[in-house]
Amino acid sequence: MLQPYLPILLLLIFVVANAVLIIGASTLLSNYRPTAVKRSAYESGMPVLGDARERFSVKFYLVAMLFIVFDIETVFMIPWAVAFAQLKSMAGVLLLEMLTFVVILGVGYVYIWKRGALQWD
Amino acid sequence: MPIDLSSPGGATLALLPELVLTFWALVVLMYVAWHHRDGHDMRTAGGLSIVGYIFAAAATAWLAWRGARPEGLSFMIALDGFRFASDALLLWIAAAVAILSVRWLIRQGILAPEYYPMLMLATVGMMLLAGAADLITLFLGLEVMSISVYVLAGFDRTRRASAEAALKYFLIGAFASGFLLYGIALTYGATGQFNFDLIGAQFAATPPTLMAKLGMGLILVGFAFKIAAVPFHAWAPDVYEGAPTPITAFMASGVKAAAFLALVRVLAEVFPALVDLWRPVIFGLAAITILVGNLTALSQTSMKRMLAYSAIAHAGYLLLAVWAHSDEGTAAVLIYLLAYSVTIVAAFGILASIERAGARTVRLTDLEGLFSVRPFASIGLSICMLSLLGFPGTFGFIGKWYLLSAALRAGQTTLPVIAMVGSAISIGYYLPVVLAMTLKPARTRQAHQTIRFPRPARIAVGICVFAILLLGVWPNTVLNFATQTAVQLRQSELPIGPR
């Protein structure tokens, strides 16, 4: 039953062995002479200013979320458009289904617009 | 009226109640987009949403009246009496919660009419969950329901308890969905099918593999989280206490009902061949849920928390009927869910009116001396407590009677004994509520001056309390209806095989 999965097991073993080999070899064989510059987060970049765990305005999350919602819609539409040519016999139904989807999305768009989610201030 | 579910037109017709409700939720959302300023907008949105529930109920009634049944395979969504009964149950719960919310939200200063479209979308999810005939529809319904209810639990967002409830519910709920999805994936891996009837037929023909058994186990774990059965119950008390009170009523009655209806359908249609495997699991869950729920409820002082633990105990009682795995069991689940939801909606309706604006909960001591000031409210709450207890003469008694007799007829004697012990324990926390209201004097003279019992809520609660009493002494119509419906669930699994 599990015979077809043998290559996956072999791959797993190889990956782990490879990682152990590379890290182990570089630890054992290399010289380690740290300086303050070498140990900084970006060795050749800007000096670090403060902590990365700061508080952001919640508006950024809202914008990001709205972007994802309206971006994912494309993920639905492209396969639909590609398959449309092959399913000509059901063209009317397919068109109706996508129109339903777009109308629901449109209602959501009008809602967030009227509710002021797209305004920064 | 046979409907070919594999054709687009047939599927649309079969999904009519859900589609009507979704459409109306969008209409209300559009109203809300322009009108979201004051109490008048809140009331209008609430009234519009109730119209939506009536439309959806009319669509359900039309399908039931025309005798809609699937032509050939039940594809994606079930079309039988059990689904129509489930839809009716869930729709009335949602409408009652909407009525209770209308004035309550304004009083609590929650002026966000998005509440009502959200409640409607949660109801759509519940209807899809309870009517699913396919593992994908099941998961879709569960997620639509859960995501809406996460938002509703945190709707009173300026209160810390509400935000905490939403976060806890979301994290645990996502975890539970993961279990369910993994179970669905394993079941699909074992059978190559998503359809309930086809999977059931396959299990009946060939002995299920280890993968199928694991899949069933994970699906059961997912459901156990949703119905808050011990040991998957830890989220329930905090979430029930923190959520806005009408939403607590919605979660305790609606969400639980939808999960139970789906569980009954899944066990009856997908896993009937594995009955010897899942029965011990249900047995263990039921026994420990009844005992832990009732014993923990004893030590609660907050009413919402006490009712949360009692909701856990009631899930345990319902598992008795799931164990029975018979027509009587299915009928008993329907009757008990109706009895429980009527009682819970009435009880939380009264508690919501007593709750002070901004308070986290209602304490048992807040109820002292209520009878002398508000006799009708305290009599109503007393009837609800007696119905939850299963006192003869109330609808709760009829429900519990049918649960016990279903389990007994299926040859189970231990669980009914445990349920009776649990009921005996529950006297210890239901009766103090009645005693506090009637026998103890009010703490201060100003106590109970803040109670506001608006007319819509008063009418809804009055109807519920009247139904508890009426159906407690004259349950025949409901019993006959539930019995006929339960037989249809069994019939829907009969036309199996290549067609």
Query: B122 and B250 in contact (C-beta within 8 Å)?
Result: yes
Distance from CA of A54 to the nearest CA of B (A): 21
Contact assignment for B32 to A111 by CB distance below 8 Å: yes
CA–CA separation, B389 and B409 (whole Å): 23
Query: A111 and B33 in contact (C-beta within 8 Å)?
Result: yes
- Residue found under tokens 């067609």: B499
Q: Which residues sit opposite B132 in a β-bridge? A: B77
Domain membership of residue B107 (yes or no) is yes
Domain membership of residue A95 (yes or no) is yes
Domain membership of residue B497 (yes or no) is no
Query: B345 and B337 in contact (C-beta within 8 Å)?
Result: no
Domain membership of residue B253 (yes or no) is yes
| DSSP conformational letter for B195 | B
Domain membership of residue A23 (yes or no) is no
Tens of pLDDT, residues B98-157:
999 998 999 888 889 999 999 999 999 999 999 999 999 999 999 999 999 999 999 998
Structural domain of residue A88, as residue ranges? 58-114
Backbone phi, then psi, for B69, in 5-degree steps?
-145, 155
pLDDT value of position B447: 74
- Residue found under tokens 């097991």: A9
Domain membership of residue A1 (yes or no) is no
pLDDT value of position B324: 93
> Which carries the bigger pLDDT value, residue B5 or residue B341?
B341
> Per-residue confidence at B497, pLDDT binned at 50, 70, 90?
very low
In chain A, the residue whose alpha carbon lies closest to the alpha carbon of B8 is A93
Contact assignment for B26 to A104 by CB distance below 8 Å: yes
> Which carries the bigger pLDDT value, residue A46 or residue B59?
B59
pLDDT value of position B152: 96
Contact assignment for B30 to A111 by CB distance below 8 Å: yes
Tokens encoding B42: 């809140």
Domain membership of residue B499 (yes or no) is no
Interface size A-B, in CB pairs within 8 Å, comes to 19
Write down the mean pLDDT value for chain B: 92
Interface test with B, best of A2, A90, A114, A118 (most B CBs within 10 A): A114
Domain membership of residue A84 (yes or no) is yes
DSSP for B312-343? HHHHHHHHHHHHH-SHHHHHHHHHHHHHHHHH
> Which carries the bigger pLDDT value, residue A117 or residue B86?
B86
Query: B235 and B175 in contact (C-beta within 8 Å)?
Result: no
**Complex ipTM, two decimals?**
0.84
pLDDT value of position B491: 58
Tens of pLDDT, residues A65-93:
888 888 888 888 899 998 888 888 888 88
CA–CA separation, B389 and B375 (whole Å): 21
> Per-residue confidence at B490, pLDDT binned at 50, 70, 90?
low
Residue B49 pLDDT more than 80? yes
Contact assignment for A115 to B34 by CB distance below 8 Å: no
Interface test with A, best of B18, B19, B20, B34 (most A CBs within 10 A): B34
Tens of pLDDT, residues B386-404:
999 999 999 999 999 999 9
In chain A, the residue whose alpha carbon lies closest to the alpha carbon of B112 is A115
Residue B477 burial (C-beta neighbours within 10 Å; 0-12, 13-18, 19+): exposed
Contact assignment for B33 to A104 by CB distance below 8 Å: no
Contact assignment for B26 to A114 by CB distance below 8 Å: no
> Per-residue confidence at B409, pLDDT binned at 50, 70, 90?
very high
Give the pLDDT mean for B54-70.
Answer: 93
Cα separation of the two ends of chain A:
60
Query: B93 and B467 in contact (C-beta within 8 Å)?
Result: no
Q: Are strands B69-70 and B2-3 parallel, antiparallel or unpaired?
A: parallel
Residues 6+ apart with CB under 8 A from A57: none
- Please give the torsion angle defined by the CA atoms of residues A11, A17, A20 and A26, in that order, rounded to the nearest 10 degrees: -100
Cα separation of the two ends of chain B:
19
Q: What are the angstrom distances between the C-alpha of A66 and each of A46, B357, B366, B370, B488?
A: 32, 33, 44, 49, 44
Query: B292 and B312 in contact (C-beta within 8 Å)?
Result: yes
Contact assignment for A110 to B30 by CB distance below 8 Å: yes
In chain B, the residue whose alpha carbon lies closest to the alpha carbon of A116 is B33
**3-class SS at B90?**
helix
Backbone phi, then psi, for A59, in 5-degree steps?
-60, -35
CA–CA separation, B194 and B74 (whole Å): 12
Residues 6+ apart with CB under 8 A from B124: B18, B21, B22, B25, B144
The rounded percent of chain B whose pLDDT value lies above 90 is: 77
Residue B170 pLDDT more than 50? yes
Structural domain of residue B297, as residue ranges? 2-491
Tokens encoding B49: 């949403």
pLDDT value of position B498: 42
Residue B499 pLDDT more than 50? no
| DSSP conformational letter for B448 | T
Q: Which residues of chain A have pLDDT under 50?
A: none
> Per-residue confidence at B72, pLDDT binned at 50, 70, 90?
confident
CA–CA separation, B190 and B215 (whole Å): 8
Q: Cβ contacts (< 8 Å) between A90 and chain B: which residues?
A: 8
Q: How many domains does chain A have?
A: 1
Q: In this structure, how many other beta carbons lie within 10 angstroms of the beta carbon of residue B361? A: 20
Domain membership of residue A65 (yes or no) is yes
Residue B493 pLDDT more than 70? no
Q: Does A104 touch chain B (CB under 8 A)?
A: yes
Contact assignment for B30 to A115 by CB distance below 8 Å: no
Q: Which residues sit opposite B3 in a β-bridge? A: B70
CA–CA separation, B406 and B58 (whole Å): 32
CA–CA separation, B132 and B119 (whole Å): 20
- Per DSSP (E only), the strands in chain A are none
Contact assignment for A111 to B36 by CB distance below 8 Å: no
> Which carries the bigger pLDDT value, residue B56 or residue B204?
B56
Tokens encoding A48: 């670090």
Give the pLDDT mean for B414-438.
Answer: 94
Domain membership of residue B498 (yes or no) is no
Contact assignment for A110 to B33 by CB distance below 8 Å: yes
A112-121, B14-23, B407-416 — which is least confidently predicted?
A112-121
Q: Could you check whether the bond before residue B231 is cis, i.e. omega within 30 degrees of 0? A: yes
Query: B457 and B349 in contact (C-beta within 8 Å)?
Result: yes
- Per DSSP (E only), the strands in B32-169 are 69-70
Distance from CA of A101 to the nearest CA of B (A): 12
Query: B73 and B195 in contact (C-beta within 8 Å)?
Result: yes
pLDDT value of position B90: 97
Domain membership of residue A92 (yes or no) is yes
Domain membership of residue A103 (yes or no) is yes
| DSSP conformational letter for B193 | -
Domain membership of residue A12 (yes or no) is no
Query: B433 and B385 in contact (C-beta within 8 Å)?
Result: yes
Residues 16-55 (B) with a CB less than 8 A from some CB of A: 26, 29-30, 32-34, 36
